[in-house]
Structure 1
Amino acid sequence: MPDRATVRLALVVGGLVLAVLLGFGLGRINGGGPASAMGGSDSALADHTHAPGAGAHSHGTGQAEAAEAGGLAVSRDGYTLAPRSGDFTAGQAGELRFQIRDGQRRAVTRFAVVHDKPMHLIVVRRDLTGYQHLHPTMAADGTWSVPLTLPEPGIWRAYADFTALADDGRQTATTLGVDLVAPGRYVPRALPAPTATATVDGFTVGYQGTFDPGLTTPLSFRVSAADGTVPPLEHYLGAYGHLVVLREGDLGYLHVHPEPELVDGAIQFWLTTPGPGRYRLYLDFATGGEVRTAEFTVTVP
């Protein structure tokens, strides 16, 4: 028979093991397990709702990460964007093919579905013209492909915005960027002057909001038809709009979180600007079965 000291030690060790297991189980329940792979629902990491009327705020320790611009490098967060094609002729239809590789140079094939898609590809020329928002398809070997036309000569930036799923279920949301070249005479265009309204296909879009570097602030967009009425907006990518924000100069890509429903009839987002400068906003919205893009220039003091 074991003595009392041995029995007491065994009970203490057993209690610690049980506590650890219970804590892990509760964490899985409250924090969620791995996000669904391709074809599943949106990742919980993409949710970013706030109570109506919430103003500018900080997210504490995660604020630095939220404010940091992405898309500045081909490798980040343990993943690399590896183009498999990249020859383009201005104005001619082409195809972009690429893989996302992990730290062992293996092609990643498991991605969480965020904003209704496992991969968002943003393409824009370095003078911030020619914006395109595309959704590639992935082959079994992890190669993504999408038809792509670069309408004018110049250097173009392609951003792959995705959330990768590791073998152990960990999620990594990141944005990688790579330059594409369409040879020819490149005459960059000046960035349009800042304005709070834009017109596209007869629709007028206006925004309201402030830009405070380092703080997360609400940004609301309202759409009106040519006759002044409010058109019925349709869901697009899991919300009533999708917003891309790029910084002039280095073309830093900012992460923006949409509200899933309209807020007082407006399309609302939460944006964190990393610092002063000029930024270009691209709002995708859907009405009448068609997706349109309203563009804005803003200056952050």
Structure 2
Amino acid sequence: MKKWGIAAVLYLALVIGGYSGYAEWFAEEKQPESHGHNQSSSYGASKSQEQRVPHGESHGHIDYGEGNDSGHHHGSGAAHEGSSEVSVFVQSDQDELKIFLKDKSGNPVEDLEVNHEKLLHLIIVDDQLHKYYHIHPEQTGRGEFTIGNNLPDGFYKAFVDIKPKNLAYHAAPVPFIVGNPGRSTHSHGLQPDKTLSKNVEGENAKLTMSSFKANKPVTLTFDLDKTNLTPYLGAMGHVVILDENAQNFLHVHPENDKDTVFETQFEKPGIYKIWAEFRQNGKVRAFPFVVEIK
């Protein structure tokens, strides 16, 4: 319990104190990378929300499960504040990231449903929302998941997507630090895209939205080359959406197993970043879009 008390203090201290490239298992904007992880940090979120973080596709590819949840989405928002019965803690060590799942009594949460062929999906973004990682830590203990840590030094937020069998759960951001990145700017500088067309590694994707209004159903339609578009473990695509402060998280699946069409709803006005992931020519790419909802 002492360890979790320290984790909670560190988490509070952090909160108070404070494209085109898609390389193998992650997507990030081109920028210098620094290394030298020598800091261990641990943070948690009570409202929620491995094997090395790899460079090789055989270990760290983006991966999803059966399309049996098509048309559904997982997420967080104001309506779910305080209703989660699972706490998530992220511990960043020199060589690995550890995820700990606890119930309200501090007991390990280990009774999870398989969600798209994985017990746990881990989404990580940096504080600028430039870097984006979708990975799958391995279970290494009771309520414990681990993946190796090759992240560049920096400030990050983790979103853990799980389905506890008998407990309410809603994903919330869990901030953590890798290495010695200096001081966080806490400023994303996101600007809405003037055109919703993107090119990633020679492939193009165009986003059409049925509405830019908050609290209304929105259809996201992606126009891309479907000649060599194939399901990735049963799904035609996956969309992750974060608000500009990386507080509200949505993980959306297609309405069916044929079309790249997604249904969702934005709870509040503001700027949002959308990552749309598709498999073309055997390679998974993430297309990033920034939109303003009014």
Both structures adopt the same fold (TM-score exceeding 0.5): yes
Deviation at 1:181, TM superposition (A): 1.2
> Which of 170, 183, 189 is the matching residue for 1:174?
170
- CA deviations over 1:47-74 (Å, ceiling 9, x no partner): 537xxxxxxxxxxxxxxx988528x98x
Q: Does 1:86 align with 2:92?
A: yes
CA distance in 2, matches of 1:122, 1:67: 12
Q: CA deviation at 1:152?
A: 4.5
Taking structure 1 as the reference length, the TM-score comes to 0.66
Distance 1:215 1:193, change over 3 A: closer
Please tell me whether Structure 1 or Structure 2 has the larger radius of gyration of its CA atoms: 1
Change (3 A) 1:292 1:43: closer
Alignment of 1:1-301 (within 5 A): 46-48=69-71, 69=77, 77-83=84-90, 85-87=91-93, 94-153=95-154, 155-166=155-166, 172-182=168-178, 183-185=180-182, 186=184, 190-194=189-193, 195-209=195-209, 210-224=211-225, 230-263=226-259, 267-301=260-294
TM-score scaled by length of structure 2: 0.67
Counterpart for residue 3 of structure 1: none
Contact 1:87 1:181 in 2 (8 A): no
Q: Distance in 1 between matches of 2:161 and 2:253?
A: 13
Per-residue CA shift, 1:77-126, capped at 9, x if unaligned? Answer: 1110123x3245xxxxx311121111221111121122222211000012
**Which residue identity does 1:217 align to in structure 2?**
V
> In the aligned structure 1, how far is the partner of 2:74 from the partner of 2:109?
24
* In 2, Cα distance between equivalents of 1:177 and 1:76: 15
- Cα 1:67–1:112, aligned 2, differ >3 Å: closer, same or farther? closer
Matched to 2:181, the amino acid is G
Q: Which has the larger share of helix?
A: 1
| Number of residue-to-residue matches in the alignment | 224
Distance, in Å, in 2 between the alignment partners of 1:237 and 1:271 is 22
CA contact (8 A) 1:97 1:146 kept: yes
Secondary structure at 2:106 match in 1: coil
When the two chains are superposed, the root-mean-square deviation of aligned CA atoms in Å is 2.8
| Residue pair 1:218, 1:268 contacting (<8 A) in 2 also | yes
Query: Cα–Cα, structure 1 residues 207 and 216, in superposed 2: closer, same or farther, change >3 Å?
Result: same
Unaligned runs of 5+ in 1: 1-40, 50-64, 89-93, 225-229
* Partners of 1:123 and 1:77 in 2: CA distance: 20
Residues 257 and 287 (structure 1 numbering): CA distance in 2 closer, same or farther, change over 3 Å?
Answer: closer
Distance in 1, matches of 2:238 and 2:96, equals 24
Report if the CA contact (8 A) 2:75-2:171 is conserved.
no
Partner Cα separation in structure 2 for residue 128 and residue 202 of structure 1:
22
Matched AA of 1:184: P
Change (3 A) 1:152 1:200: farther
Structure 2, gaps ≥5 residues long:
1-64
Cα distance change, pair 127–281 in 1 and its aligned pair in 2 (3 A): same
3-state SS of the aligned residue for 2:231? Answer: coil
Alpha-carbon distance between aligned partners in 2 of 1:205 and 1:297, rounded to the nearest angstrom: 14
